[in-house]
């Protein structure tokens, strides 16, 4: 039986809110309504109304002057949608030949319509992958998710060896640029230089003699594991 099969179905709008709150609160503990509005491109008053409804439904907890966070029920619902999205992205790239810069929008359109059974069949056909094309962990069927400490490339020390684990952007132009530079999940690299005053970071990829220069804004979106050794297999 699927993890949420016994729970009442949620509307698309509610599912989108829960995903956004999960992402925002996972970074700082609470999600501000202004940040929720910005991510969903909605007016703050409409977000405040939905926050009240989600709180009354037991999906979030609203703490005055701090923001909102998911309840256990809300977290499970959010992870269910994240699993759907990331399995879809992985299936589209591995089975249907989509590029990693084009799968996010497709998965966004599909994730609310497909059944849990189809998602599990897709995951099984893929060998139950642990990561999506952008390196983000896929929640398990039991709605558990891997949580590891990663360092932003913009904060790594000069001389530090790293493995690129996640790319925290869905912008197609940025993803295409990163792919052209070989900066995709699993890449091993060493930080060779960083210019002062928020200047660019220069890295050397393993197996390549050419340096890659990454601007500060983009370097903040590249999440790495220190060491750059073999680690666990990306699947």
Q: What is the per-residue pLDDT across 173-228, written as a single tens digit (0 to 9) for each?
A: 999 999 999 999 999 999 999 999 999 999 999 988 889 999 999 999 999 999 86
Q: What is the pLDDT of residue 29?
A: 86
Judge whether residue 17 has pLDDT over 80: yes
Q: How confident is the model at residue 9 (pLDDT cuts 50, 70, 90)?
A: confident
Q: How confident is the model at residue 229 (pLDDT cuts 50, 70, 90)?
A: low
Closest-CA residue to 165 (of 230, 90, 224, 220): 224
Q: What is the pLDDT of residue 3?
A: 44
Stronger pLDDT, 177 or 28, i.e. the higher one: 177
pLDDT tens readout for residues 43-66: 999 999 999 999 999 999 999 889
Q: What is the pLDDT of residue 160?
A: 96
Q: What is the DSSP string of 54-122?
A: HHHTTSEEEETTTEEEE-HHHHHHHHHHHHHHHHHHHHHHHHH---TTTHHHHHHHHTTTS-HHHHHHH
Q: What is the pLDDT of residue 6?
A: 41
Q: How confident is the model at residue 148 (pLDDT cuts 50, 70, 90)?
A: confident
Give the lowest-confidence range in 117-121, 147-151, 179-183: 147-151
Strand, coil or helix: 151: strand
Task: Describe the chain by its helix, strand, coil percentages, rounded to 5.
Answer: 40, 15, 40
Q: What is the pLDDT of residue 5?
A: 41
Contacts of 125 (CB under 8 A, 6+ apart): 91, 95
E runs forming strands in the chain: 60-63, 67-70, 151-152, 161-167, 188-194, 201-205, 211-214, 222-226
- Above pLDDT 70, what percent of the chain? 92
Domains and CATH numbers, the chain: 1-147 (1.10.10.10), 151-226 (2.30.30.90)
Contacts of 186 (CB under 8 A, 6+ apart): 135, 163, 164, 234
Q: How confident is the model at residue 4 (pLDDT cuts 50, 70, 90)?
A: very low
Query: Over the chain, what is the mean pLDDT?
Result: 92
Q: What is the pLDDT of residue 234?
A: 53
In sign, the C-alpha dihedral spanning 139, 140, 142, 147 is negative
Q: What is the pTM of this model?
A: 0.88
Q: How confident is the model at residue 26 (pLDDT cuts 50, 70, 90)?
A: confident
């Amino acid at each position: 039986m699927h993890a949420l099969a016994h729970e009442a179905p949620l509307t698309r709008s509610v599912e989108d809110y829960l995903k956004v709150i999960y992402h925002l609160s996972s970074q700082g503990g609470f999600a501000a309504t202004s940040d929720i509005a910005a991510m969903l491109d909605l007016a703050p008053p409409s977000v405040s109304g939905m926050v009240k409804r989600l709180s009354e439904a037991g999906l979030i907890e609203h703490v005055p002057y701090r923001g909102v966070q998911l309840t256990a029920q809300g977290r499970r619902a959010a992870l269910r949608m994240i699993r759907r999205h990331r399995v879809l992205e992985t299936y589209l790239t591995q089975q249907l030949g989509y590029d990693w810069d084009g799968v996010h929008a497709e998965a966004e359109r599909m994730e609310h319509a497909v059944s849990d059974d189809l998602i599990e069949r897709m995951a099984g056909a893929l060998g139950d992958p642990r990561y999506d094309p952008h390196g983000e962990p896929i929640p398990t069927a039991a709605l558990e998710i891997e949580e590891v400490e990663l360092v932003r490339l913009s904060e790594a020390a000069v001389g530090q060896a790293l493995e690129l684990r996640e790319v925290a952007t869905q912008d197609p132009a940025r993803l295409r640029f990163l792919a052209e530079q070989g900066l995709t999940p699993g890449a091993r690299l060493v930080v060779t230089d960083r210019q002062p005053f928020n200047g660019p970071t220069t890295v050397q990829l393993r197996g390549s003699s050419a340096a890659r220069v990454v601007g500060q804004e983009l370097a903040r979106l590249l999440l790495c594991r220190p060491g750059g050794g073999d680690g666990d297999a990306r699947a």
